[in-house]
Amino acid sequence: MQCQHYELGLAGADTAFSVDPSAVTFGAGCLVEAGDIARSLGITRIALFTDAVLATTEHVAKVMTSLKEANVDVALYDEVRVEPTDMSFRAASKFAADAKVDGYISVGGGSVIDTAKAANLYSTYPAEFLAYVNAPIGLGQPVPGPLRPHIACPTTSGTGSECTGIAVFDLLDMRAKTGIASKMLRPTRALVDPDCTLTLPSSVVASSGFDVLSHAVESYTARQYTRRPAPDSPSQRPSSQGANPWSDLGCAEALRLLGLYLERAVADASDVEARHQLMWASTLAGIAFGNAGCHAPHGMSYSVSGLCETFQPAGYPDHTPMVPHGMSVIVNSPSVFRNTASGAPERHLDGARWLGADVSGAGPEDAGNILADHLVALMQATDMPNGLEGVGYSADDVGALVDGSINQRRLLDNAPMTIDREELEAMYTGALRYW
C-alpha cells in the first residue's frame, strides 16, 4: 500500500504500522457511567486514584457515587503527587498491592493517570523499580503481560495520558524525568467528560492546550514509520512507531480544532463550546501520539521541568517551583520546528495551515519559520512564557539542559532528523527568547 506519500521499501525499515485504538467514551456528564463501565469490565473492588485537591471536587464525588450505585467497592488513594517521582510511584504501588483490588480508576490530570498505570504495573508484576523504566536510564524490560482493567478519567484538556501506554515521572537520584512505555499500560477505557474543564483557570487551559498542540504537531512531523528500523519481531513494534496514516487523522483534526478554539477557551471560561472542543482535540491528539510518539519538544521538556528552581506559574498551587508540563514543552516547540522542518517540510506546512496560518505561496524552505512564527503568535495571545527565559533559564543553562535531555532517545530518535548534542544546543539556544 502506497498511501499518504509514505516511502516503502527502505532497507531494514519497518513496512507496517499497528493501530492500537483506545476505547473512549466522550460526552458532557459521562463520569456518571463509571460504575456501569467498571461492572462491565468485571471489576468488583476498584482503586480510585486522585490527588488531594481533586478529591474534594464534584468530579470525584460523581465517580464515587456511580461506583457505589453499581456495587463496586472503592479503595480511595488521594495522595497522588503532581509531577510524580519514583518515590511517589512506589508508594502508590504499595497501596495498590495492599488494597487487593481487581481494577483501577484514575480521576485527574496526567500525574494521576500515570500514577495509576504504574501502580497497576508494579502491583501486578512486582519487580525492581528500574526494570520497566525506559533504557538507558532503566533496564527497559518488557511488561510481562496484560494488566488489570483501568478506567482513566482526565480532568484537564491536555494530558492525552488516557489514550497512551506511557507513564512519566522524576527519577529523584538522577534529577531526570523519564518514563515507562508499553502498550500494556494503555488504560482499558478512557472516560472523557469535557465538563471537567469548565472550572479550570485560563493559565491551566493554555498550558494544557499547548501540550495538545505539540502532541499533534510532533506526532504528525515524527519520523515516518517506514523509516524506523524494523523490530526483531512484530510484537515488539513500539507504540512510538512514528507518523503513520492512522495517527495523521487525529493530528489533522486536533490541529484544526486548536486553530479554531484554543484562544477562545483560554480567554473565556464561560465559552463552553470552546472548552468542550479543546477536550475533544486533546483526546484525538492523545490517540495520535499514543500510536506515533512525540519527538524533540517533549524530549527537551524533561530537563526544562526537571531543572526548574525558581519559576512559579500563575494559576497553579503555590508551593514548590515548577514548570507545568505544557509550558515546558511549548517553550521548545517553535525553535525545534524551525530546525526539524528540513526533515519533513510539507508536514510542517500542513500543521501550520491546519492551525490557521497563511501558507499561500510558501515553499518547503519556508515551512519551519511559518509554523514557528504562528506558534509564537499564539503563545503571545495566550500569555505563555517567552521561551526558556520566561521560565527562569538563561544561556548559561543550555549545557545543563542538553545534559538532561540527551538520553531521551525514545523521543529524540522519533524526530524527522538526527538529533545529537550539537543540534540540541542549537535548539535550546533558539528557544531562549521569542519576542
- The residues that touch Fe ion, with contacts defined as CB under 5 A, are 211
Smallest separation (angstroms) from Fe ion to the CB of 293: 11
Residue with smaller CB distance to Fe ion, 123 or 291: 291
Residue with smaller CB distance to Fe ion, 60 or 375: 375
Residue that has been written with the C-alpha cell 486536533 in this structure: 254
Smallest separation (angstroms) from Fe ion to the CB of 213: 10
Smallest separation (angstroms) from Fe ion to the CB of 32: 28
Smallest separation (angstroms) from Fe ion to the CB of 374: 19
Residue with smaller CB distance to Fe ion, 226 or 405: 405
Residue with smaller CB distance to Fe ion, 265 or 294: 294
- Which residues neighbour 351 within 8 Å (Cβ) at sequence distance 6 or greater? 216, 217, 220, 221, 251, 255, 337, 371
Smallest separation (angstroms) from Fe ion to the CB of 408: 13
Contact 80, 113 (CB under 8 A): no
Smallest separation (angstroms) from Fe ion to the CB of 42: 31
Smallest separation (angstroms) from Fe ion to the CB of 413: 18
Residue with smaller CB distance to Fe ion, 211 or 423: 211
User: What is the radius of gyration, based on Cα positions, of the chain?
Assistant: 20
Residue with smaller CB distance to Fe ion, 324 or 345: 324
- Residue with nearest beta carbon to Fe ion: 211
Residue with smaller CB distance to Fe ion, 326 or 345: 326
Smallest separation (angstroms) from Fe ion to the CB of 85: 18
Alpha-carbon gap, residue 303 to 300, rounded angstroms:
6
Residue with smaller CB distance to Fe ion, 55 or 185: 185
Residue with smaller CB distance to Fe ion, 207 or 224: 207
Smallest separation (angstroms) from Fe ion to the CB of 294: 7
